[in-house]
Amino acid sequence: MPRRGYVRGTDDGRRVTVSTLHTGDWWYCLKHMRVEQGAGCPNRERMGPYEDEATAARALAIAAERNEEWEDEEDR
């Protein structure tokens, strides 16, 4: 179901309200280890939202890449 005005986190930890209408939000469920679209498991149990299914499927790899980048930045 499309949602308007929901709150989401940003890469730097800020929370912003998204005011545009979204119909294609994709998530990666950590409980079931699979991609979900739209309403599904509670947000505390999943990563996202992502723009498309392929990106959501890479959620764990994306998180690992970001963690590595942050660790590299801390080492500098």
Span 11-67, pLDDT tens digits = 566 554 454 445 569 999 999 999 999 989 999 999 999 999 999 999 999 999 999
Q: Which is more confidently placed, 45 or 3?
A: 45
Q: How far apart are CA 71 and CA 76, in angstroms?
A: 9
Cα separations in angstroms, 2 against 22, 61, 73: 5, 27, 38
Q: Is the pLDDT of residue 1 over 60?
A: no
pTM: 0.64
Among candidates 23, 53, 29, which has minimal Cα distance to 43?
A: 29
Among candidates 39, 42, 45, 75, which has minimal Cα distance to 59?
A: 45
Q: Which is more confidently placed, 6 or 25?
A: 25
Q: How far apart are CA 72 and CA 76, in angstroms?
A: 7
Tokens 């545009």, residue located: 20
